[in-house]
Amino acid sequence: MEHLLEVDMTSLDVQIRTVPKNWETLGGRLLIGRLMNEQVPPRCYPLGEENAFIVAAGLLAGTNVSSCGRLSVGGKSPMNGTIKESNAGGIVARTLARLGYRAIVVHGQARSGGPYLLVISRDGAKLEAAPDLSGLRIFETNELLKQRYGGKIAVSIVGPVGEMGLPNSLVAHSDGDGRSSRMSGRGGLGAVMAAKGLKAIVYLAEEGQPVPLTDNALFKTTVKRVVEKIQTTPQTSEVWPQYGTSLMIETCNGLGALPTRNFSAGQFEGADNIGGEHLYATITGRGGAGQVGHPCMPGCMIRCSNVYPHPDGSEWVSPLEYETLGLLGPNLCIDDMDFVAEVNYLCNDFGADTMELGSTLGVMMEGGLLAFGDAEAALELVREVGQDTLMGRLLCSGAEVAGKALGVYRVPTVKGQTMAAYDPRGIKGLGVTYATSPQGADHTAGHTVRASIDKRQAEGQWEVSLNAQITMGMYDSIGGCMFFGTAIGPDWELLCDLLNARYGWQLAPDDLSEMGKEVLRVERAFNREAGFGPAHDRLPQFMETEPLPPYNEVFDVSETDLDKLAEI
Amino acid sequence: MEHLLEVDMTSLDVQIRTVPKNWETLGGRLLIGRLMNEQVPPRCYPLGEENAFIVAAGLLAGTNVSSCGRLSVGGKSPMNGTIKESNAGGIVARTLARLGYRAIVVHGQARSGGPYLLVISRDGAKLEAAPDLSGLRIFETNELLKQRYGGKIAVSIVGPVGEMGLPNSLVAHSDGDGRSSRMSGRGGLGAVMAAKGLKAIVYLAEEGQPVPLTDNALFKTTVKRVVEKIQTTPQTSEVWPQYGTSLMIETCNGLGALPTRNFSAGQFEGADNIGGEHLYATITGRGGAGQVGHPCMPGCMIRCSNVYPHPDGSEWVSPLEYETLGLLGPNLCIDDMDFVAEVNYLCNDFGADTMELGSTLGVMMEGGLLAFGDAEAALELVREVGQDTLMGRLLCSGAEVAGKALGVYRVPTVKGQTMAAYDPRGIKGLGVTYATSPQGADHTAGHTVRASIDKRQAEGQWEVSLNAQITMGMYDSIGGCMFFGTAIGPDWELLCDLLNARYGWQLAPDDLSEMGKEVLRVERAFNREAGFGPAHDRLPQFMETEPLPPYNEVFDVSETDLDKLAEI
């Protein structure tokens, strides 16, 4: 029997409810979508008491199947104004499920005495005032909480940037080593959590118990099939464990889709210094705390994460990922991996998303505030992140706000959120996802880089994107990592076996497809009431008119095709 | 025979076209609405080459009837993202009409060699490169142009703020004394003009000729009726010539609708020091260049403008108006008229709208950047307007952007534009106008303060606002001032007589009503394609939930009523 934790921050009241019968098949992103539509007025102020802050585990969380412990954090986004689900790895989803909860739903707003800690045990949860933690950075907060509650905890923490109410603010979750390193980065959900009056959620992991399985034998044999899939898929067995996501620098540079100089070129001459091969060589060469093949979730066989060390071998930041490298490297014309690591470290500690920050810096460079390629000047600015200065605030207000204040036309956002490190003129299916995802520009909402279609043709991309978006809607609801999806491929019978063995259901692949579609439907329904329509399902105009070197493509998927995504 | 001047800044080409037969009855705001729908893609970037910058005279411009020489400036707004018509007095509409033109339509974008001057004579127009004027303030630009082209010119100028591409940037037009003091302030059309590559439009007034009248006798007798109306209406014959708009401080304070402390109260204890009586006493007391009853358009009998002098009698700023007093005074808890005058002077010279700036400062005060009531600190900030500093840019990015960067919830905007100096909880019909006008929050789009309805009741306000919006759509198209409308009242036969005598038409009052409705229809059509729907026809949430002292009203007009405005 699973439960929902309902927290009212206005009255400081916590209730435990059994997951209603008709909601039993809802997890992660789909659960967030349904809760938002039922409980949150779509026009509400994202940082007000009417918004909800939701932490939801995927349906397979807590089991021992590889790569299926993803966490969904949700609410109305102060960055986008849309519904938002921000997905992360780490141990929180697993811990939450093992404590007996499907999700935490936080309403209201603390009036005084905060910020608070929400401490979750197997028997329930309580709110503890922690004014001493107000304004503390994430890493020191994590250490203090470990001292206070013992080492065996998982935590979700908001940093100073979120406490300042800024749109580019994240929620940091524990990884398997107790680091606050797995980020719900996008859409400003850190500010939503802080606006509720929460500084951290503490999950007392040692009280956790294995989640029950209805059909042990089926689950066991299916997990074996998963292992085999992962072991026989080159990406999941060889590429990602060695290079993680970073080899995408080389891939995108080859495709001419590597955002360079604020999305004005698709290839970067310094790509080698910031790419996967260089990252691997640096980590293994420096040794010490450095690690490739680091699992973000315990038991993950894909292990795409890493620990990046200082030159002296001490730990610098974990993980250093493609999106961060791309948007803080080529996008700024900076080919210095240590620069990216330091910015990443500061963003993690103060609680800002590296992707939005990289894009914001790109817009600031375009606006003439600093020169492209000037790593020293960029780092000087980034040191203001989390400080209550005008620059500190503007840096964490998102690329779109920076663009308005600086009079910059070329702002790579959709629905207020910056694109990931793929120029959509070079991977047009991903451009369709950026344009039409209810989440704003978001690569994880429907990645198409491995789809078997000419990436530069306009025709048919809408269908590739739609399928990818449905697939990801489903994976984000069951808690499966998108790389896990690469190993599984079209074998959704396997996924059904896992879910049916876990819960005793009778799902068929079509039900999973329907789950993915339902995610998009409920998210679009919320957005529609919040004021989003076809005119918002478009890329920024400059990408429709400016050819992207070296292949000189524009984004030319027709509006008719883009509008097909609304008919799910 | 009237003409349109079509300017292509990309090719630096100017064409003169006769107004097409089926467009003959279109002037001012309606002409802008039709041109925008036919020639501008609604999703275009407001500061890009696809947007248009339009200067259009009302239908009665150039005649000698009092108060009917208003000018409409239009384009897609970089502040709102909506269609925008920004209305101003002064001599430009009259001059344009007397040179034989109904409107100027500027397309494209100058590639190099700019900025340019567009110099308009009776025989046509030419573009002259004026790189020496780049970045110059408005007043010095005006003086240089008078030296260059002789004193008898009218000019429209954009200042440094517009040249920096900032959303809060105005276009300054000449008044009858040759001052650059009549502002198309709202919606950032200064940046649109500058983005075209234009620094100023010079109208060679001495080449002007009286506009032809089809029925001289009818026009003459109708003008007499106008004179009588103005002379027998207390507002237009007594109140406005003495106090101008400033007495609205006392009125709104009495209604509990005077925006105080960033729209958190409706009465201000320092109102007397910033109100109409005090303004009158100061101007007449200081004497010198000071003047009440100053006409913004030659021949205007209402003369609501003024010249506000320094303590030594030298000219400080003209005019000092209610909206500026309200949003820089009570809204900031500052009761110092000289402070408002200095900020107004600086805004006029650098080219920013005082209303949006006052609201932005209010949001900054709410965000803790400076204290409410601290005039000295506010003035220090305002001295950065037009400077290429982060604060200078943020100050002119509009209240909504400032609110995002500062994490402020209580931002008094609709569709990205700040409200005028009337709290809509105290004058609910005006709240309907703010919410539903295609222009964003805009008092001139349909003022209801003098409507015979209880201002605090929710019921029926939609109809009052709708009628006011239709009326203003019509007046903004024929070029009549809204105060002129107060004198005319329901006697639209008189307006028909003026138009029919001028053009030889057969208009009846219903045609004028249709003209006003058509304005709203074409503007809504543009906005719809640009991405605006019912969710954007709403006031900021805090006004629906926070009671406004002293009458503790919330804005409670129903969404059903608000949505009726879309059915025109």
pLDDT of B314-329, one tens digit each?
A: 999 999 999 999 999 9
Q: State yes or no: pLDDT of B16 exceeds 70.
A: yes
Nearest CA distance, A498 vs chain B (angstrom):
42
A48–B541 C-beta distance less than 8 A: yes
Q: Are strands B3-8 and B101-107 parallel, antiparallel or unpaired?
A: parallel
Query: Which residue of A43, A166, A541 is in closest CB contact with B407?
Result: A166
Task: List, for residues A164-182, the tens digit of each pLDDT value.
Answer: 999 999 999 999 999 999 9
Q: Which residues on chain B are in Cβ contact (under 8 Å) with A530?
A: 535
Question: In the CATH scheme, what is the code of domain B3-207?
Answer: 3.60.9.10
Contact check, Cβ <8 Å, A535/B530? yes
Torsion of CA B268, B271, B274, B280, to 10 degrees: 160
Q: How many CB pairs under 8 A join A and B?
A: 86
B397:A405 CB<8 A: yes
Give Cα separations from B347 to A484, B353, B356, B392 (angstroms).
58, 6, 11, 12
A535/B538 touch (CB, cutoff 8 Å), yes or no: no
Instruction: State residue B6's pLDDT score.
Output: 98
Nearest CA in chain A to B191: A407
Contact criterion met (CB below 8 Å) for B93 and B68: no
Nearest CA in chain A to B396: A405
Residue of A nearest to B542 (CA): A45
Beta bridge partners of A217: none
Which token pair is A394?
């503007």
Neighbouring C-beta atoms of residue B339, cutoff 10 Å: 19
Q: Residue A396: name the closest of A357, A366, A341 by CA.
A: A357
Q: A183: which strand partners?
A: A172
Between CA A254 and CA A434 the distance in angstroms is 21
> What pLDDT score does B67 carry?
97
Q: A565 with A272: CB under 8 angstroms? A: no
Residue A533, judged by CB atoms within 10 A of its CB (0-12, 13-18, 19+), counts as middle
pLDDT at A407 over 90: no
pLDDT at residue A2, as a whole number: 87
Across the interface, whether the CB atoms of A531 and B533 are under 8 A apart is answered: yes
Query: Residue A307: in which H helix or E strand, if any?
Result: strand A305-309
Residue B389 DSSP one-character state? S
Alpha-carbon distance of B422 to B419, in angstroms, equals: 7
pLDDT at A251 over 70: yes
- Residue A405 and residue B394: Cβ atoms within 8 Å? yes
Listed in sequence order, the residues at least 6 apart from A358 whose beta carbon sits closer than 8 Å to its beta carbon are: A324, A326, A327, A328, A331, A332, A343, A418
Query: What residues of chain B have any CB closer than 8 angstroms to a CB in chain A?
Result: 42-45, 47-48, 50, 164-167, 191, 369, 390-391, 393-394, 397-398, 401, 404-407, 409, 529-533, 535-536, 538, 541-542
Contact B535 A531 (CB under 8 A): yes
* Residue in B40, B166, B404 to test binding to A, most A beta-carbons within 10 Å: B404
DSSP A550: T
Residues A416 and A397: their CA atoms lie apart, in Å, by 10
CA distances from B162 to A303, A366, A370, A406, B50 (A): 52, 18, 21, 12, 18
**Residue A497 confidence (pLDDT) above 80:** yes
Q: What length does chain B have?
A: 568
pLDDT value for B416: 96
Subunit contact B45:A538, Cβ cutoff 8 A: no
- Per-residue model confidence as pLDDT tens digits over B454-481: 999 999 999 999 999 999 999 999 999 9
Cis peptide before B424 (omega within 30 of 0): no
Beta-bridge partner residues of A5 = A16, A104
Contacts B164 to A, Cβ<8 Å = 407
Over residues A197-246, the pLDDT tens digits come to 999 999 999 999 999 999 999 999 999 999 999 999 999 999 999 999 99
Say if residue A1's pLDDT is above 90: no
The pTM assigned to this predicted structure is 0.95
The verdict on a CB contact (< 8 Å) between A45 and B542 is: yes
Q: CA-CA-CA-CA torsion for B144, B145, B151, B154, nearest 10 degrees?
A: -140
Concatenating the DSSP letter of every residue in B509-557 gives: HHHHHHHHHHHHHHHHHHHHHHT--GGGSS--HHHHHS-BTTTTB----
Contact A165 B407 (CB under 8 A): yes
> Are B171 and B183 in contact, with CB atoms under 8 Å apart?
yes
Helix (H, G, I), strand (E, B) or coil at B72: strand
Give chain A's mean pLDDT.
97
Facing A44 at nearest CB: one of B390, B407, B541 = B541
Q: Are A228 and A491 in contact (CB under 8 A)?
A: no
Contacts of A190 in chain B (CB under 8 A): none
Pull the structure tokens for residue B388: 């290429």
Query: A450: which DSSP letter?
Result: T
- pLDDT tens digits, A327-367: 999 999 999 999 999 999 999 999 999 999 999 999 999 99
Report d(CA A540, CA B561) in Å as an integer: 34
Cα-based angle B436, B75, B345 (whole degrees, multiple of 5): 90
The CA distance from A208 to the nearest CA of chain B, in Å, is 38
Residues 6+ apart with CB under 8 A from B360: B168, B394, B395, B396, B397, B398, B399, B402, B418
| Mutation choice for A interface testing from B387, B393, B411 by most A CBs within 10 A | B393
Are B1 and B97 in contact by the 8 Å Cβ rule? The answer is: no
List of chain B residues whose C-beta atoms are within 8 Å of the C-beta of residue A541 = 43-45, 48, 50
pLDDT digits (tens, 9 = 90+) for B186-221: 999 999 999 999 999 999 999 999 999 999 999 999
Q: Does B405 sit within 8 Å of A397, measured CB to CB?
A: yes
Distance CA B131, CA B143 (A): 16
* Distance in angstroms (rounded) separating the CA atoms of residues A519 and A514: 9
* Tokens describing residue B19: 């107004």
pLDDT of B407 reads 86
SS3 at position A502 = helix
Kindly determine whether residue B541 and residue A43, on different chains, have CB atoms separated by under 8 Å: yes
A47 contacts in B (CB within 8 Å)?
407, 409
Specify the pLDDT at position A568. Answer: 86
Sheet containing A71-76: order of strands: A13-18, A3-8, A101-107, A53-57, A71-76, A83-88
**Cα A53 to Cα A78, A145, A154, A442, distances in angstroms:** 12, 21, 18, 20
H-assigned helices in A383-436: 390-395, 399-406, 428-436
Residue A210's alpha-carbon distances to A2, A120, A149, A404, A502, in angstroms, are: 13, 16, 21, 51, 12
Of A50, A196, A388, A393, which to mutate for an interface test with B (greatest number of B Cβ within 10 Å)?
A393
Number of H helices, E strands in chain A: 23, 17
Q: What is the pLDDT of residue A486?
A: 96
Query: Per residue in A301-311, pLDDT tens?
Result: 999 999 999 99
Give pLDDT, residue B151. 79
Torsion over CA of B531, B533, B537 and B543, rounded to 10 degrees? -80
Q: Where are the domains of chain A?
A: 3-207
> What is the interface pTM, i.e. ipTM, of the complex?
0.91
HSE-up (13 A, CA, CB side) for residue B79 = 41
- Going by C-alpha positions, the residue among A395, A433, A400 that lies closest to residue A418 is A400
Two tokens, residue B409: 């919830």
Q: Pick from A43, A10, A192, A202: which is nearest to A121 by CA?
A: A202
- Min distance A155 CA to chain B CA atoms (Å): 25
For residue A81, give both structure tokens. 């104004």
Distance CA B149, CA A284 (A): 73
Cα separation values, B27 from A517, B280, B501, B537, Å: 50, 36, 16, 26
Residue A39: pLDDT over 80: yes
Measure the CA–CA gap between A531 and B416, rounded to whole angstroms: 14
> Shortest Cα distance from B56 to chain A (angstroms)?
26
Contact criterion met (CB below 8 Å) for A505 and A543 = no
Closest CB to A393 among B165, B405, B409: B405
Residue B77 token pair: 């707004």
Contact A167 B404 (CB under 8 A): yes
Residue from the list A164, A397, A533 with its beta carbon closest to the beta carbon of B531: A533
Position B431 pLDDT exceeds 90: yes
CB B331 within 8 A of CB B358: yes
Query: What Cα–Cα distance (Å) separates residue A193 from each residue in A117, A506, B23?
Result: 11, 36, 55
With an 8 Å Cβ cutoff, the interface of chain A facing chain B consists of 42-45, 47-48, 50, 164-167, 191, 369, 390-391, 393-394, 397-398, 401, 404-409, 529-536, 538, 541-542
Choose the closest CB to A394 out of B405, B538, B542. B405
pLDDT band at B1 (very low <50, low <70, confident <90, very high): low
pLDDT at B279: 98
What b-and-e string marks burial along B38-65, b requiring 16 or more CB atoms within 10 Å of the CB? eebebbbbbbbbbbbbbbbbbbbbbbbb
Residue of B nearest to A534 (CA): B531
Residue A265 backbone phi and psi in degrees, to 5? -145, 160
DSSP 8-state symbol, A379:
H
For residue B546, is pLDDT > 70? yes
Query: DSSP for B20-45?
Result: PGGGTT--HHHHHHHHHHHHS-TTS-
